[in-house]
């Protein structure tokens, strides 16, 4: 197949309006971006020389989607459904996205959390077709040349992982790229960033997972993980190459482990247009739930006291985002931090012990909180009582640690405690929502990280809001690209959180629901993108949108038009010979 089978033709908003192909015959059908299956028109079949290669009947996309839904629903297991969608994506990307969009709430659980975790673990054994790029010590010196191979696709967003911190399952080596593939599908579903503009990247620096290293089928670089100077140099080589080849593209760091996640995010804050979703996306979506809770409680954020159980990347990211909004609301930095407690496996994080650098910001001085000197008071339950916690957030992965005693302790501090068991996957949640409602006599305000079934509250069925990062990162990405922002600021995530919270209906607020439904993802992503772009204008970090000839000229109204019209949707485009 020629190196460049296709060329995208854009309208003034940077949205693809047509695909020109240099190939003919089976090469057109074999490419996932140009293939339409049985939907090619008679004229296209003739012009592209695929007459006779297809049955005579021409199906509509609606008919194709209906047919594929039936096949999808007949698959017995979630992993079989995952494989089916990935296979469809590999042969007809537009149809795959139309299928996903037909029931985003249901299918998102297959292409992303929780099924994608299993896909990471089985990546090597069920490998079918390469997607994205794999850098390892044997090719990192040629990173620029390898990245340039994708230049014809006008890459706008890359999701990049070193595969070490896969949520709930840890180091998965080369299999971590499945997370990037899933995230980028959601960029397309939510933000409308066309799939050809998306690039998944695995930075394969080895693995310390002995099971993988001993597996004959393992496809990754079969060595222990690079560490120290060697690891840093590897990341630097990739970042330098990415900036040279795609200077205007957004780089989302994904599933790096704790300290590496913070170090890499901070190192490239000004050098790349980048952010870390595990830190900042998690912080923003959690803040959105808390902001909604304040509307229900009719209280102010600055009057709350927060405890985050789990001081990893997600937990500290939440703490950072809460700190950011408290300062934006008028508190001094020290005042804001005094209201935010973090807790790890050794108890409430305090300055009187050796700490990883990323934990130090929210460590408490026992001189200011004398009760921390007593080891017993360092634990979760006593910490809630002593600090008078009103918002409890779980990112620990410790199943069931939000016990009835914990819920009752929260009730003693506030009439309507906010309790968010956010750990993924479902079986690792700190508590079951139904138990929290029962133990709090339906007074707690609850959202989770994983999807849960509705519960009955006061004889009515109540949906459990899900703090899913998907409400944030697609819109942040689109807002950054449309505004031409040269860096991703903390205020962007505050804006995103407010935009998500503002999408909660009055009916849901009356029922104590903290997050919008997933089936409104595309609409919510649009609102997040507009909020982020306007934040970029306000912070004076916006520039020209390099993907569009329609320029916003720093006009908020024009930038909204640009954002809405630059979004791709899964419909077949005209395909014609070059």
Active-site positions? Answer: 112, 183
Distance of CA 540 to the CA centre of its chain: 26
Task: Check residue 486 and report its DSSP letter.
Answer: S
Backbone phi, then psi, for 444, in 5-degree steps?
Answer: -70, 150
Please work out, in degrees rounded to the nearest 5, the angle formed at the alpha carbon of residue 12 by the alpha carbons of 10 and 18. Answer: 25
Helices 78-91, 104-111: axis angle to 10 degrees equals 90
Closest CA to 121 of 226, 220, 225, 256: 220
C-alpha–C-alpha distance, residues 239 and 254, integer Å: 14
Angle at 531 between CA 527 and CA 537, to 5 degrees: 145
Beta-bridge partner residues of 170: 166
CB-CB neighbours of 185 under 10 Å: 25
Burial class of residue 388 (count of CB atoms within 10 Å of its CB; 0-12, 13-18, 19+): middle
- Residues in contact with 525: Cβ distance below 8 Å, sequence separation at least 6, in sequence order: 190, 191, 192, 471, 474, 475, 478
Is 172:121 a contact under the CB 8 Å cutoff? yes
Per residue, what are the HEC states of 8-50? EEECCCCCEEEEEECCCCHHHHHCCCCCCHHHCCHHHHHHCCC
Q: Report the SS3 class of residue 488.
A: coil
Residue listed under structure tokens 């910001």:
361
Report how far residue 346's alpha carbon sits from residue 359's, in angstroms, rounded to the nearest whole number.
Answer: 13
508/206 Cα distance (integer angstroms): 46
DSSP string, 299-364: --GGG--EEEE--SHHHHHHHHHHHHHHHHTT--HHHHHHTEEEEETTEE-BTTS---GGGGGGPB
Phi-psi region of 278 (alpha: psi -120 to 50; beta: other; left: phi over 0): alpha
Q: Would you call 74 helix, strand, or coil by DSSP? A: helix
- The CA dihedral of 530, 16, 517, 483, to the nearest 10 degrees, is -20
């Amino acid at each position: 197949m020629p190196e460049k089978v296709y060329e995208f033709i854009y309208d003034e908003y940077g949205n693809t309006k047509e695909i020109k192909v240099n190939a003919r015959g089976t090469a057109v059908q074999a490419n996932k971006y140009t293939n339409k299956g049985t939907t090619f028109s008679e004229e296209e079949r003739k012009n592209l020389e695929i007459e006779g290669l297809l049955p005579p009947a021409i199906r509509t996309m609606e008919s194709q989607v209906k047919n594929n839904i039936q096949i999808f629903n007949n698959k017995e297991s979630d992993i079989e459904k995952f494989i089916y969608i990935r296979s469809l994506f590999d042969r007809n990307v537009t149809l795959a996205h139309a299928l996903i969009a037909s029931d985003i709430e249901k299918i998102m659980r297959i292409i992303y959390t929780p099924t994608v975790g299993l896909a990471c673990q089985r990546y090597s054994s069920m490998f079918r077709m390469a997607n994205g790029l794999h850098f390892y010590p044997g090719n990192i010196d040629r990173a620029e040349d390898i990245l340039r191979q994708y230049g014809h696709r006008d890459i706008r967003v890359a999701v990049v992982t070193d595969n070490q911190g896969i949520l709930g399952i840890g180091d998965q080596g080369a299999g971590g790229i499945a997370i990037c593939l899933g995230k980028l599908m959601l960029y397309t579903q939510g933000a409308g960033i066309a799939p050809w503009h998306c690039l998944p990247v695995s930075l394969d620096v080895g693995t310390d997972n002995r099971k993988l290293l001993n597996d004959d089928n393992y496809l990754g670089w079969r060595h222990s993980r690079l560490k120290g100077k060697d690891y840093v140099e590897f990341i630097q080589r990739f970042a330098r190459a990415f900036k040279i080849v795609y200077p205007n593209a957004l780089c989302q760091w994904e599933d790096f482990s704790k300290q590496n996640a913070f170090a890499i995010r901070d190192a490239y804050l000004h050098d790349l247009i980048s952010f870390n979703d595990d830190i900042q996306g998690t912080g923003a979506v959690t803040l959105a739930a808390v902001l909604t809770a304040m509307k229900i409680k009719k209280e102010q954020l600055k009057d709350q006291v927060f405890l985050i159980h789990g001081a990893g990347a997600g937990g500290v990211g939440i703490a950072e985002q809460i700190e950011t909004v408290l300062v934006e609301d008028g508190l001094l930095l020290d005042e804001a931090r005094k209201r935010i407690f973090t807790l790890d496996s050794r108890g409430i994080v305090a300055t009187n012990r050796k700490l990883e650098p990323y934990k130090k910001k929210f460590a408490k001085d026992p001189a200011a909180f004398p009760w921390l000197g007593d080891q017993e008071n360092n634990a979760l339950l006593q910490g809630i009582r002593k600090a008078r916690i009103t918002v409890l957030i779980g990112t620990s992965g410790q199943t069931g640690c939000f016990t009835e005693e914990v819920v009752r302790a929260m009730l003693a501090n506030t009439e309507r405690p906010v309790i968010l068991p956010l750990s993924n996957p479902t079986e690792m949640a700190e508590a079951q929502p139904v138990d929290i409602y029962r133990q709090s006599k339906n007074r707690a305000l609850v959202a989770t990280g994983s999807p849960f079934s509705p519960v009955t509250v006061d004889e009515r069925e109540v949906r459990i809001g899900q703090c899913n990062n998907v409400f944030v990162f697609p819109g942040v990405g689109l807002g950054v690209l449309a505004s031409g922002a040269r860096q991703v600021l903390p205020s962007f995530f505050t804006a995103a959180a407010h935009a998500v919270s503002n999408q909660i209906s009055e009916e849901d607020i009356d029922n104590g629901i903290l997050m919008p439904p997933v089936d409104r993802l595309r609409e919510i992503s649009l609102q997040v993108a507009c909020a982020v772009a306007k934040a970029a204008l306000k912070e004076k970090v916006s520039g020209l949108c390099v993907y569009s000839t329609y320029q916003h000229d720093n006009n908020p109204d024009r930038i909204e038009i640009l954002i809405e019209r630059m979004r791709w949707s899964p419909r077949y485009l005209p395909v014609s010979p070059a």
